[in-house]
Amino acid sequence: MNHFVYKNGEFFCEEMAVADIARAVGTPFYLYSRATLSHHFQTFDSAFNGIDHLTCFAVKACSNLSILHLFAGLGGGADIVSGGELYRAITAGVNPQRIIYSGVGKTEAELRFGLESGILLFNVESAQELERLQRVAATMGVRAPVSFRVNPDVDPQTHAYISTGLAKNKFGVPIAEAFDLYIQARGMENIAIKGVSCHIGSQLTLISPFIESLRKVKDFVARLADAGIGIEYIDLGGGLGITYDDEQPPHPREYAEAIKAELEGTRATLILEPGRVLVGNAAILVTEVQYTKNNRGVDQEKKFVVVDAAMNDLARPSLYGAFHAIVPVREQGGAPEMVDIVGPICETGDFLAKDRALPPVQQGDLLAVLSAGAYGFSMSSNYNSRPRVAEVLVDGSHYTLIRRRETVEELVNGELLPKFAESGHGH
Protein backbone atom coordinates (compact mmCIF):
# COMPACT_ATOMS: atom_id res chain seq x y z
CA MET A 1 0.00 0.00 0.00
CA ASN A 2 1.23 3.51 -0.76
CA HIS A 3 0.02 7.09 -0.95
CA PHE A 4 0.73 7.98 -4.59
CA VAL A 5 -2.58 8.27 -6.46
CA TYR A 6 -4.39 10.31 -9.11
CA LYS A 7 -7.08 12.70 -7.91
CA ASN A 8 -9.09 14.35 -10.69
CA GLY A 9 -6.35 13.58 -13.18
CA GLU A 10 -3.53 15.02 -11.05
CA PHE A 11 -0.89 12.80 -9.44
CA PHE A 12 -0.76 13.26 -5.68
CA CYS A 13 1.58 12.24 -2.90
CA GLU A 14 -0.69 12.08 0.15
CA GLU A 15 -2.51 15.45 0.14
CA MET A 16 0.04 17.27 -2.03
CA ALA A 17 -0.17 17.68 -5.80
CA VAL A 18 3.18 16.52 -7.19
CA ALA A 19 3.12 19.32 -9.80
CA ASP A 20 2.91 21.97 -7.04
CA ILE A 21 6.02 20.61 -5.36
CA ALA A 22 7.82 20.43 -8.71
CA ARG A 23 7.05 24.09 -9.33
CA ALA A 24 8.54 24.99 -5.95
CA VAL A 25 11.67 22.81 -5.87
CA GLY A 26 12.43 22.26 -9.57
CA THR A 27 13.13 18.93 -11.24
CA PRO A 28 14.36 16.25 -10.98
CA PHE A 29 13.70 15.33 -7.37
CA TYR A 30 12.88 12.32 -5.21
CA LEU A 31 9.57 12.57 -3.40
CA TYR A 32 8.93 10.42 -0.32
CA SER A 33 5.63 9.81 1.46
CA ARG A 34 5.98 9.84 5.23
CA ALA A 35 2.70 7.97 5.71
CA THR A 36 3.91 5.20 3.38
CA LEU A 37 7.28 4.94 5.11
CA SER A 38 5.68 4.70 8.58
CA HIS A 39 3.04 2.28 7.36
CA HIS A 40 5.63 0.02 5.77
CA PHE A 41 7.85 0.02 8.84
CA GLN A 42 5.01 -0.69 11.22
CA THR A 43 3.47 -3.39 9.05
CA PHE A 44 6.81 -5.16 8.74
CA ASP A 45 7.88 -4.78 12.35
CA SER A 46 4.54 -5.65 13.93
CA ALA A 47 4.28 -8.78 11.78
CA PHE A 48 6.99 -10.22 14.05
CA ASN A 49 5.14 -9.40 17.25
CA GLY A 50 5.09 -12.38 19.57
CA ILE A 51 8.80 -13.10 19.25
CA ASP A 52 11.85 -11.12 20.36
CA HIS A 53 13.04 -9.29 17.31
CA LEU A 54 14.85 -6.22 16.07
CA THR A 55 14.14 -4.57 12.71
CA CYS A 56 17.35 -3.00 11.44
CA PHE A 57 16.72 -0.92 8.31
CA ALA A 58 19.38 -1.52 5.65
CA VAL A 59 20.74 2.01 5.35
CA LYS A 60 22.21 1.46 1.90
CA ALA A 61 18.71 1.25 0.40
CA CYS A 62 17.96 4.86 1.29
CA SER A 63 20.30 6.74 3.55
CA ASN A 64 18.82 10.23 3.99
CA LEU A 65 19.06 11.34 7.63
CA SER A 66 15.36 12.24 7.84
CA ILE A 67 14.35 8.76 6.78
CA LEU A 68 16.76 7.08 9.20
CA HIS A 69 15.44 9.40 11.90
CA LEU A 70 11.85 8.46 11.07
CA PHE A 71 12.56 4.72 11.40
CA ALA A 72 14.60 5.24 14.56
CA GLY A 73 11.59 7.05 16.05
CA LEU A 74 9.47 3.98 15.30
CA GLY A 75 11.89 1.76 17.21
CA GLY A 76 14.01 0.64 14.30
CA GLY A 77 17.70 -0.10 14.24
CA ALA A 78 20.13 0.13 11.35
CA ASP A 79 22.05 -2.37 9.26
CA ILE A 80 25.14 -0.57 7.98
CA VAL A 81 27.90 -1.50 5.53
CA SER A 82 30.41 1.33 5.91
CA GLY A 83 31.81 3.91 8.31
CA GLY A 84 29.87 6.53 6.37
CA GLU A 85 26.62 4.73 7.04
CA LEU A 86 27.55 4.37 10.70
CA TYR A 87 28.07 8.13 10.86
CA ARG A 88 24.69 8.69 9.20
CA ALA A 89 22.87 6.28 11.54
CA ILE A 90 24.34 7.86 14.66
CA THR A 91 23.73 11.39 13.38
CA ALA A 92 20.11 10.46 12.66
CA GLY A 93 19.68 9.29 16.25
CA VAL A 94 19.70 5.52 15.82
CA ASN A 95 20.53 3.84 19.14
CA PRO A 96 23.99 2.23 18.68
CA GLN A 97 22.68 -0.82 20.51
CA ARG A 98 20.40 -1.29 17.51
CA ILE A 99 23.12 -0.99 14.89
CA ILE A 100 24.64 -4.01 13.17
CA TYR A 101 27.58 -3.78 10.84
CA SER A 102 27.64 -5.99 7.72
CA GLY A 103 30.03 -6.05 4.76
CA VAL A 104 33.01 -8.01 3.41
CA GLY A 105 35.64 -5.30 3.50
CA LYS A 106 35.59 -3.41 6.79
CA THR A 107 38.78 -1.39 7.25
CA GLU A 108 40.65 -1.08 10.52
CA ALA A 109 39.39 2.49 10.93
CA GLU A 110 35.82 1.34 10.35
CA LEU A 111 36.12 -1.45 12.92
CA ARG A 112 37.48 1.06 15.44
CA PHE A 113 34.64 3.48 14.71
CA GLY A 114 32.13 0.69 15.28
CA LEU A 115 33.72 -0.28 18.58
CA GLU A 116 33.94 3.34 19.74
CA SER A 117 30.28 3.79 18.91
CA GLY A 118 29.25 0.75 20.94
CA ILE A 119 27.27 -0.95 18.19
CA LEU A 120 25.29 -4.12 18.86
CA LEU A 121 27.02 -6.50 16.45
CA PHE A 122 29.67 -6.92 13.82
CA ASN A 123 28.64 -9.40 11.15
CA VAL A 124 32.10 -10.82 10.43
CA GLU A 125 32.65 -12.30 6.98
CA SER A 126 36.12 -13.86 7.05
CA ALA A 127 38.89 -15.29 9.25
CA GLN A 128 41.09 -12.28 8.49
CA GLU A 129 38.38 -9.85 9.51
CA LEU A 130 38.02 -11.76 12.80
CA GLU A 131 41.75 -11.46 13.47
CA ARG A 132 41.73 -7.76 12.63
CA LEU A 133 38.74 -7.15 14.86
CA GLN A 134 40.43 -9.00 17.75
CA ARG A 135 43.55 -6.87 17.29
CA VAL A 136 41.67 -3.55 17.14
CA ALA A 137 39.47 -4.45 20.13
CA ALA A 138 42.58 -5.44 22.11
CA THR A 139 44.25 -2.07 21.51
CA MET A 140 41.08 -0.40 22.77
CA GLY A 141 40.71 -2.74 25.73
CA VAL A 142 37.17 -3.78 24.77
CA ARG A 143 35.37 -6.93 23.60
CA ALA A 144 33.85 -6.89 20.15
CA PRO A 145 30.35 -8.40 19.85
CA VAL A 146 30.36 -10.75 16.88
CA SER A 147 28.08 -12.71 14.59
CA PHE A 148 29.49 -14.54 11.63
CA ARG A 149 27.72 -14.13 8.35
CA VAL A 150 27.38 -17.63 7.03
CA ASN A 151 26.72 -18.40 3.40
CA PRO A 152 23.94 -20.98 3.35
CA ASP A 153 24.38 -21.72 -0.38
CA VAL A 154 20.70 -21.20 -1.14
CA ASP A 155 19.48 -19.92 -4.51
CA PRO A 156 17.29 -16.87 -3.90
CA GLN A 157 15.99 -17.06 -7.49
CA THR A 158 16.52 -13.38 -8.13
CA HIS A 159 18.73 -11.24 -10.41
CA ALA A 160 22.33 -12.53 -10.57
CA TYR A 161 23.74 -9.17 -9.44
CA ILE A 162 21.67 -9.15 -6.26
CA SER A 163 21.96 -12.77 -5.21
CA THR A 164 24.44 -13.06 -2.36
CA GLY A 165 23.87 -16.38 -0.63
CA LEU A 166 25.30 -18.77 -3.19
CA ALA A 167 28.71 -20.37 -2.74
CA LYS A 168 29.90 -18.51 -5.85
CA ASN A 169 29.05 -15.10 -4.32
CA LYS A 170 31.70 -13.17 -2.39
CA PHE A 171 29.61 -12.87 0.76
CA GLY A 172 29.81 -14.72 4.04
CA VAL A 173 31.67 -17.80 5.22
CA PRO A 174 30.62 -21.24 3.91
CA ILE A 175 28.68 -22.98 6.69
CA ALA A 176 31.12 -25.90 6.55
CA GLU A 177 34.01 -23.58 7.47
CA ALA A 178 32.11 -21.33 9.86
CA PHE A 179 32.22 -23.86 12.68
CA ASP A 180 36.01 -23.64 12.95
CA LEU A 181 35.77 -19.85 13.02
CA TYR A 182 33.44 -19.97 16.01
CA ILE A 183 35.86 -22.29 17.82
CA GLN A 184 38.69 -19.91 16.99
CA ALA A 185 36.66 -16.89 18.09
CA ARG A 186 35.81 -18.54 21.39
CA GLY A 187 39.50 -18.57 22.23
CA MET A 188 39.95 -14.87 21.50
CA GLU A 189 40.13 -12.58 24.47
CA ASN A 190 38.56 -9.53 22.85
CA ILE A 191 35.79 -11.26 20.92
CA ALA A 192 32.34 -11.97 22.34
CA ILE A 193 30.32 -14.44 20.27
CA LYS A 194 26.73 -13.25 19.99
CA GLY A 195 25.04 -14.60 16.92
CA VAL A 196 24.80 -16.12 13.47
CA SER A 197 23.72 -14.11 10.47
CA CYS A 198 22.94 -14.61 6.80
CA HIS A 199 21.58 -12.55 3.92
CA ILE A 200 20.91 -14.39 0.69
CA GLY A 201 19.95 -11.69 -1.77
CA SER A 202 17.55 -8.93 -2.70
CA GLN A 203 14.13 -8.59 -4.35
CA LEU A 204 13.10 -12.15 -3.40
CA THR A 205 9.54 -12.99 -4.37
CA LEU A 206 9.37 -16.42 -2.76
CA ILE A 207 9.36 -17.40 0.91
CA SER A 208 10.99 -20.80 0.42
CA PRO A 209 14.62 -19.61 0.03
CA PHE A 210 14.33 -17.68 3.32
CA ILE A 211 13.02 -20.76 5.10
CA GLU A 212 15.63 -23.00 3.51
CA SER A 213 18.43 -20.77 4.80
CA LEU A 214 16.80 -20.39 8.22
CA ARG A 215 16.75 -24.20 8.52
CA LYS A 216 20.43 -24.39 7.68
CA VAL A 217 21.19 -21.65 10.20
CA LYS A 218 19.11 -23.42 12.86
CA ASP A 219 20.97 -26.70 12.29
CA PHE A 220 24.20 -24.80 12.57
CA VAL A 221 23.13 -23.09 15.81
CA ALA A 222 22.28 -26.54 17.23
CA ARG A 223 25.75 -27.76 16.29
CA LEU A 224 27.29 -24.75 18.04
CA ALA A 225 25.17 -25.45 21.13
CA ASP A 226 26.51 -29.02 21.19
CA ALA A 227 30.00 -27.54 21.27
CA GLY A 228 28.98 -25.32 24.19
CA ILE A 229 28.65 -22.12 22.15
CA GLY A 230 25.44 -20.28 22.92
CA ILE A 231 23.85 -17.91 20.42
CA GLU A 232 21.75 -14.85 21.40
CA TYR A 233 20.91 -13.54 17.93
CA ILE A 234 19.82 -15.10 14.67
CA ASP A 235 19.99 -12.57 11.83
CA LEU A 236 18.06 -13.51 8.69
CA GLY A 237 19.16 -10.46 6.67
CA GLY A 238 16.90 -8.56 4.31
CA GLY A 239 15.81 -9.28 0.78
CA LEU A 240 12.02 -9.31 0.75
CA GLY A 241 10.88 -8.11 -2.68
CA ILE A 242 8.32 -5.53 -3.78
CA THR A 243 6.04 -5.00 -6.76
CA TYR A 244 7.66 -2.91 -9.50
CA ASP A 245 5.66 -4.36 -12.38
CA ASP A 246 3.74 -7.62 -12.00
CA GLU A 247 5.83 -9.35 -9.31
CA GLN A 248 3.81 -10.90 -6.51
CA PRO A 249 6.07 -10.99 -3.47
CA PRO A 250 4.69 -12.40 -0.23
CA HIS A 251 3.13 -9.88 2.14
CA PRO A 252 5.40 -9.15 5.13
CA ARG A 253 2.80 -10.89 7.31
CA GLU A 254 3.10 -14.17 5.34
CA TYR A 255 6.88 -13.86 5.42
CA ALA A 256 6.84 -13.25 9.19
CA GLU A 257 4.39 -16.09 9.88
CA ALA A 258 6.58 -18.58 8.01
CA ILE A 259 9.67 -17.44 9.89
CA LYS A 260 7.94 -17.45 13.26
CA ALA A 261 6.69 -20.99 12.65
CA GLU A 262 10.21 -22.11 11.74
CA LEU A 263 11.64 -20.48 14.87
CA GLU A 264 9.24 -22.23 17.30
CA GLY A 265 11.19 -23.31 20.34
CA THR A 266 14.25 -21.21 19.52
CA ARG A 267 15.30 -18.76 22.20
CA ALA A 268 17.48 -16.40 20.19
CA THR A 269 16.40 -12.86 19.32
CA LEU A 270 15.59 -12.54 15.64
CA ILE A 271 17.24 -9.72 13.68
CA LEU A 272 15.88 -8.58 10.32
CA GLU A 273 17.57 -6.25 7.86
CA PRO A 274 14.85 -5.07 5.47
CA GLY A 275 15.76 -2.38 2.98
CA ARG A 276 13.77 -2.33 -0.24
CA VAL A 277 10.49 -3.52 1.27
CA LEU A 278 10.35 -0.52 3.62
CA VAL A 279 11.25 2.25 1.19
CA GLY A 280 10.93 1.01 -2.39
CA ASN A 281 7.32 1.98 -2.96
CA ALA A 282 7.47 4.99 -0.64
CA ALA A 283 9.07 7.35 -3.16
CA ILE A 284 8.92 8.51 -6.76
CA LEU A 285 11.42 10.32 -8.94
CA VAL A 286 9.86 13.36 -10.61
CA THR A 287 11.35 14.45 -13.91
CA GLU A 288 10.47 16.94 -16.67
CA VAL A 289 10.31 16.20 -20.37
CA GLN A 290 12.98 18.24 -22.17
CA TYR A 291 12.57 17.06 -25.74
CA THR A 292 10.77 14.49 -27.80
CA LYS A 293 12.33 13.16 -30.96
CA ASN A 294 11.90 10.51 -33.61
CA ASN A 295 14.89 8.75 -35.10
CA ARG A 296 13.97 7.15 -38.39
CA GLY A 297 15.98 4.20 -39.56
CA VAL A 298 15.62 2.21 -42.75
CA ASP A 299 12.96 -0.13 -41.49
CA GLN A 300 11.89 1.31 -38.18
CA GLU A 301 11.18 4.48 -36.35
CA LYS A 302 12.15 5.01 -32.76
CA LYS A 303 10.55 7.60 -30.50
CA PHE A 304 12.52 9.08 -27.64
CA VAL A 305 11.37 11.12 -24.69
CA VAL A 306 14.39 12.94 -23.30
CA VAL A 307 13.91 13.85 -19.64
CA ASP A 308 16.04 15.75 -17.12
CA ALA A 309 16.68 12.70 -14.89
CA ALA A 310 19.33 10.21 -15.91
CA MET A 311 21.21 7.05 -14.98
CA ASN A 312 23.27 9.02 -12.48
CA ASP A 313 20.04 9.91 -10.61
CA LEU A 314 18.45 6.45 -10.87
CA ALA A 315 20.92 3.73 -11.80
CA ARG A 316 18.71 0.64 -11.54
CA PRO A 317 17.39 0.52 -15.12
CA SER A 318 20.91 0.82 -16.57
CA LEU A 319 22.60 -1.32 -13.93
CA TYR A 320 20.17 -4.24 -13.69
CA GLY A 321 17.78 -3.65 -16.57
CA ALA A 322 15.30 -2.99 -13.78
CA PHE A 323 11.71 -2.01 -14.53
CA HIS A 324 10.19 1.15 -13.06
CA ALA A 325 6.65 2.14 -13.99
CA ILE A 326 6.54 5.70 -15.37
CA VAL A 327 3.35 7.78 -15.41
CA PRO A 328 2.49 11.34 -16.39
CA VAL A 329 1.95 13.66 -13.43
CA ARG A 330 -1.11 15.09 -15.22
CA GLU A 331 -3.21 12.28 -16.68
CA GLN A 332 -3.07 12.46 -20.47
CA GLY A 333 -5.54 11.43 -23.12
CA GLY A 334 -4.45 10.07 -26.47
CA ALA A 335 -3.34 6.67 -27.66
CA PRO A 336 -0.19 5.43 -25.91
CA GLU A 337 2.96 5.36 -28.02
CA MET A 338 5.97 3.08 -27.67
CA VAL A 339 8.89 5.19 -26.54
CA ASP A 340 12.28 5.02 -24.89
CA ILE A 341 12.53 7.36 -21.92
CA VAL A 342 16.13 8.50 -21.78
CA GLY A 343 18.33 10.96 -19.90
CA PRO A 344 20.89 13.49 -21.11
CA ILE A 345 23.98 11.43 -20.24
CA CYS A 346 26.41 10.52 -22.97
CA GLU A 347 25.97 6.76 -22.67
CA THR A 348 23.70 4.53 -24.73
CA GLY A 349 22.99 2.76 -21.45
CA ASP A 350 21.39 5.92 -20.09
CA PHE A 351 17.70 5.11 -20.04
CA LEU A 352 14.90 4.99 -17.50
CA ALA A 353 12.63 2.82 -19.67
CA LYS A 354 12.80 1.11 -23.05
CA ASP A 355 9.95 0.30 -25.44
CA ARG A 356 7.42 1.63 -22.98
CA ALA A 357 3.82 2.52 -23.79
CA LEU A 358 3.33 6.14 -22.72
CA PRO A 359 0.50 8.56 -23.54
CA PRO A 360 1.74 11.33 -25.85
CA VAL A 361 3.81 13.84 -23.87
CA GLN A 362 5.28 17.22 -24.69
CA GLN A 363 8.17 19.37 -23.67
CA GLY A 364 7.60 20.64 -20.13
CA ASP A 365 5.35 17.75 -19.02
CA LEU A 366 6.20 16.08 -15.75
CA LEU A 367 6.68 12.32 -15.39
CA ALA A 368 6.77 10.26 -12.19
CA VAL A 369 9.12 7.28 -12.05
CA LEU A 370 7.47 4.98 -9.52
CA SER A 371 8.94 2.65 -6.86
CA ALA A 372 12.11 4.71 -6.74
CA GLY A 373 12.65 4.83 -2.96
CA ALA A 374 15.09 1.92 -2.67
CA TYR A 375 18.55 2.09 -4.26
CA GLY A 376 17.41 5.29 -5.94
CA PHE A 377 18.97 8.39 -4.47
CA SER A 378 21.43 6.30 -2.44
CA MET A 379 22.99 4.93 -5.64
CA SER A 380 23.06 8.28 -7.40
CA SER A 381 26.31 9.84 -8.55
CA ASN A 382 27.70 13.00 -10.11
CA TYR A 383 28.54 11.37 -13.45
CA ASN A 384 28.62 13.92 -16.29
CA SER A 385 29.08 16.50 -13.52
CA ARG A 386 25.41 16.50 -12.74
CA PRO A 387 24.55 17.87 -9.30
CA ARG A 388 22.68 15.33 -7.19
CA VAL A 389 18.96 16.01 -7.07
CA ALA A 390 16.78 17.26 -4.21
CA GLU A 391 14.89 14.96 -1.85
CA VAL A 392 11.50 15.99 -0.51
CA LEU A 393 9.33 14.41 2.20
CA VAL A 394 5.56 14.84 2.18
CA ASP A 395 3.57 14.61 5.37
CA GLY A 396 -0.17 15.00 4.72
CA SER A 397 -0.67 18.42 3.15
CA HIS A 398 2.88 19.63 3.90
CA TYR A 399 6.25 18.97 2.37
CA THR A 400 9.80 19.52 3.55
CA LEU A 401 13.06 19.55 1.69
CA ILE A 402 15.16 16.79 3.28
CA ARG A 403 18.11 17.30 0.96
CA ARG A 404 18.62 20.38 -1.12
CA ARG A 405 19.76 20.10 -4.69
CA GLU A 406 23.53 20.18 -5.05
CA THR A 407 25.06 23.26 -6.64
CA VAL A 408 27.71 23.28 -9.34
CA GLU A 409 30.10 24.85 -6.81
CA GLU A 410 29.63 21.82 -4.57
CA LEU A 411 30.58 19.60 -7.49
CA VAL A 412 34.15 20.86 -7.43
CA ASN A 413 34.37 21.14 -3.67
CA GLY A 414 37.57 19.54 -2.52
CA GLU A 415 39.20 19.61 -5.93
CA LEU A 416 42.55 21.38 -6.15
CA LEU A 417 44.47 22.88 -9.03
CA PRO A 418 48.08 21.68 -9.08
CA LYS A 419 50.59 24.03 -7.53
CA PHE A 420 53.02 23.88 -10.47
CA ALA A 421 54.59 27.01 -11.84
CA GLU A 422 52.33 28.74 -14.38
CA SER A 423 54.74 28.16 -17.26
CA GLY A 424 55.31 24.52 -16.39
CA HIS A 425 54.50 22.01 -19.07
CA GLY A 426 55.22 19.11 -16.81
CA HIS A 427 59.00 19.66 -16.77
**Sole binder of ligand PLP in the list 28, 83, 238, 249 (CB under 6 A):** 238
**Sole binder of ligand PLP in the list 2, 36, 102, 151 (CB under 6 A):** 102
Residue 239 touches ligand PLP, criterion: CB under 6 A? yes
Which DSSP category does 267 fall into? -
Residue 79 touches ligand PLP, criterion: CB under 6 A? yes
Minimum CB distance to ligand PLP, residue 369 (Å):
18
Strand, coil or helix: 221: helix
Minimum CB distance to ligand PLP, residue 332 (Å):
33
**Sole binder of ligand PLP in the list 37, 61, 72, 234 (CB under 6 A):** 61
State the chain's maximal CA–CA distance in angstroms. 77
Residue 276 touches ligand PLP, criterion: CB under 6 A? yes
Identify which of residues 136 and 200 has a Cβ nearer to ligand PLP in the complex. 200
Residue pair 214/236 in contact by the 8 Å Cβ criterion: yes
Catalogue the long-range contacts made by 17-25 (C-beta closer than 8 Å, 24 or more residues apart). 18/284, 18/286, 18/329, 18/366, 18/368, 19/329, 19/330, 19/366, 21/286, 21/392, 21/394, 21/399, 22/286, 22/288, 22/329, 22/366, 25/390, 25/392, 25/401, 25/405
Task: Give the binding-site size for ligand PLP (rule: CB under 6 A).
Answer: 18
Query: Is beta strand 53-58 parallel, antiparallel or unpaired with respect to 269-272?
Result: parallel
* 13 classed as catalytic: no
Please choose, out of 20-28, 232-240, 261-269, 322-330, the segment that lies near ligand PLP by the rule CB under 6 A. 232-240
Identify which of residues 60 and 88 has a Cβ nearer to ligand PLP in the complex. 60
Give the number of C-alpha atoms closer than 13 A to the C-alpha of residue 377, restricted to the C-beta side: 29
Residue 216 touches ligand PLP, criterion: CB under 6 A? no
Residue 196 touches ligand PLP, criterion: CB under 6 A? no
Of 13, 62, 198, 346, the catalytic one is: 346
Residue 83 touches ligand PLP, criterion: CB under 6 A? no
Which H or E element spans position 149?
Answer: strand 144-151
Minimum CB distance to ligand PLP, residue 374 (Å):
6
Rounded to 5 degrees, φ, ψ at 382 are: -100, 15
Query: Is beta strand 53-58 parallel, antiparallel or unpaired with respect to 77-80?
Result: parallel
Which DSSP category does 392 fall into? E
Residues 6+ apart with CB under 8 A from 302: 294, 295, 296, 340
C-alpha distances (whole Å) from 262 to each of 147, 160, 404 are: 20, 27, 45
Residue 212 touches ligand PLP, criterion: CB under 6 A? no
Per CB under 6 A, contacts with ligand PLP among 132-191 are: none
Per CB under 6 A, contacts with ligand PLP among 246-275 are: 273-275
Please choose, out of 24-32, 58-66, 392-400, 403-411, the segment that lies near ligand PLP by the rule CB under 6 A. 58-66
**Sole binder of ligand PLP in the list 58, 80, 121, 146 (CB under 6 A):** 58
Residue pair 171/150 in contact by the 8 Å Cβ criterion: no
Tell me which residues are annotated as active site: 346
- Which residues in this chain contact ligand PLP in the complex, by CB under 6 A? 58, 60-61, 79, 81, 102, 199, 202, 237-240, 273-277, 374
